[in-house]
């Protein structure tokens, strides 16, 4: 197995458990930007032989990060996707794209089903992420249709768990970080917007099943248990401290109001559904952050 990362937001610490595999030649890390220099990527990966699977998971994914790096975010979805698709085409490998629920934008259909075309502002500040992923889906389908590459597309909804960056700006690590420090939990807007949080182990199980399936069109992967951000803050207080305060700040531009996956298709096509409840998942994540102590970044 080969991992490709430029660590623009990732952490080397997250790969420490792979050191034993690396020593036995079963894992190798190539440090490169997936979007830069297709030939460079090819050369780096050529040395590792022929691939059976190419999983394109690379992207800045947290609003805080992609708003700070909009061009890099767009490039990861365009040039990055093309570079990975070219390797899959060359090797006859299966290709998996990790797309996003953000393809639905500020959805007018609820819960979101894969056949919904979305409501995305192409020129808003968040478009660097949303349009990058919509482009990546279109390119993946174009390679499937015109080049015969065996492709799969996952639309991933909010996911959390160990190895998240505590400071990446998303609500799960943000609340856990604030709670661990005994600080007030920050709510954007009035907290009535909804999210659905999927634990990472459930998501990985879904991706493995999808990569083995014959489904070419996008499949939602996420937890259909929906709650408001206020309800989520209450869950954190219940777990970590009933005395935590809440502070309210303005909602970011084009922030989606509601987000809940319709996972009928994943149930039907992959026999998949999430198994880990929010309280168990949060407890595991909290344990991880406690172990880390103050070391929150790379």
Residues that bind its own copies in the complex, under the rule CB under 8 A: 70-71, 74-75, 77-79, 82, 103, 105, 117-123, 125, 127-128, 130-132, 134-135, 137-139, 141-143, 145-147, 153, 217-218
Residue 226 corresponds to which tokens in the numbers above?
């929906």
Strand partners, 185: 246
Distance (Å, whole) CA 287 – CA 127: 35
In this complex, which beta carbon is closest to its own copies, that of residue 143 or of residue 157?
143
Q: Are 230 and 175 in contact (CB under 8 A)?
A: no
Q: In the complex, what is the shortest distance from the CB of residue 102 to its own copies, in angstroms, rounded to a whole number?
A: 11
State in angstroms the smallest separation of the CB of 138 from its own copies: 4
- Closest separation between CB of residue 134 and its own copies, Å? 4
Helix-strand-coil split of the chain, %, nearest 5 = 45, 15, 40
Q: Which of 77, 43, 42 is nearest to 58 (CA)?
A: 77
Report the residue number, 77 or 222, with the smaller CB distance to its own copies: 77
Residues 6+ apart with CB under 8 A from 187: 229, 230, 233, 246, 247, 248, 249
Q: Alpha helices of 56-152 — where are they, by DSSP H?
A: 63-68, 70-77, 79-91, 127-147
Q: Which is nearer to its own copies, 33 or 205 (CB)?
A: 33
In angstroms, what is the minimal distance from the CB of 68 to its own copies? Answer: 9
Q: Name the active-site residue from 129, 143, 160, 199.
A: 129
Closest approach, Cβ 23 to its own copies, in A, equals 39
Which of 130/205 has CB closer to its own copies?
130
Cβ nearer to its own copies, comparing 105 with 161: 105
Active site residue 160: no
Question: Which residues are CB-neighbours of 127 under 8 A, at least 6 positions away?
Answer: 120, 121
Residues with a known catalytic role: 129
């Amino acid at each position: 197995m080969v991992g490709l990362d430029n660590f623009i937001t990732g952490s080397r610490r997250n790969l420490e458990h792979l050191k034993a595999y690396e020593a036995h030649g079963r894992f190798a890390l190539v440090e490169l930007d997936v979007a830069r220099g297709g030939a460079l990527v090819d050369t780096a990966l050529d040395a590792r032989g022929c691939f059976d699977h190419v999983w394109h998971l690379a992207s800045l994914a947290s609003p805080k990060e992609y708003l700070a790096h909009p061009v890099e975010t767009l490039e990861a979805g365009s040039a990055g996707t093309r570079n990975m698709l070219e390797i899959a085409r060359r090797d006859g490998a299966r290709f998996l794209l990790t797309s996003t629920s953000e393809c639905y934008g500020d959805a007018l259909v609820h819960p979101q089903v894969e056949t919904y075309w979305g409501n995305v502002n192409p020129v808003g500040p968040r478009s660097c992420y949303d349009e990058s992923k919509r482009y990546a889906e279109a390119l993946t389908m174009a390679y499937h249709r015109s080049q015969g590459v065996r492709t799969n597309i996952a639309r991933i909804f909010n996911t959390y768990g160990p190895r998240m960056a505590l400071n990446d700006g998303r609500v799960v690590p943000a609340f856990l970080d604030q709670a661990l420090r005994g600080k007030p939990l920050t709510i954007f807007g009035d907290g009535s917007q909804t999210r659905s949080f999927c634990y990472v182990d459930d998501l990985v199980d879904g991706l493995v099943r999808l990569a083995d399936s014959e489904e070419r069109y996008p499949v939602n992967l996420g937890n259909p248990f929906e709650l408001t951000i206020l309800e989520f803050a209450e869950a954190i207080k219940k777990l970590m401290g009933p005395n935590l305060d809440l502070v309210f700040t303005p909602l970011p531009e084009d922030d989606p109001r509601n987000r809940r996956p319709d996972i009928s298709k994943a149930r039907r096509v992959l026999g998949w559904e999430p198994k880990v409840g929010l309280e168990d998942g949060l407890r595991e994540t909290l344990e991880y952050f406690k172990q880390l102590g103050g070391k929150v970044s790379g």
